[in-house]
Amino acid sequence: MKPFNIFIILSVLGISAGFIFLKDALKNADPSLTWSDRQQLINRIAYLDYSDTNKVHSQKFGKTVLFFAATTWCQTCSELDKEIRQRIGEIPADLTILKVDYDNDSEMKSNYRVTQQHTLIVLDKKGNEIKRWIGGNLDLLFQEVEAT
- 94-142 per-position pLDDT tens digit: 899 999 999 999 888 888 899 999 999 998 877 889 999 998 888 888 8
The helix, strand and coil proportions of the chain, stated in percent and rounded to the nearest 5, come to 45, 20, 35
- What's the pLDDT at 31? 63
Per-residue pLDDT tens digits for 47-56: 999 988 888 8
Task: Give the Cα separation of 102 and 50 in Å (integer).
Answer: 10
What's the first-to-final CA gap in the chain, in angstroms?
Answer: 41
pLDDT value, residue 18 = 43
pLDDT for 140: 87
Contact indicator for 135, 76 with CB cutoff of 8 Å: yes
122 and 145 Cβ atoms separated by less than 8 Å: yes
Between 36 and 8, the more confident residue is 36
If pLDDT is split at 50, 70 and 90, which confidence band does 12 have?
Answer: very low
Q: What is the pLDDT of residue 59?
A: 84
- Give 57-103 pLDDT, tens digit per residue: 888 888 889 999 999 999 999 999 999 999 988 888 889 999 999 99
Sign for the CA dihedral angle at 22, 124, 121, 103 comes to: positive
Predicted confidence at residue 4, as pLDDT, reads 52
Q: How far is CA 128 from the centre of its chain?
A: 16
Model pLDDT, residue 56 = 86
What's the CA gap between 100 and 105, in Å, rounded?
A: 7
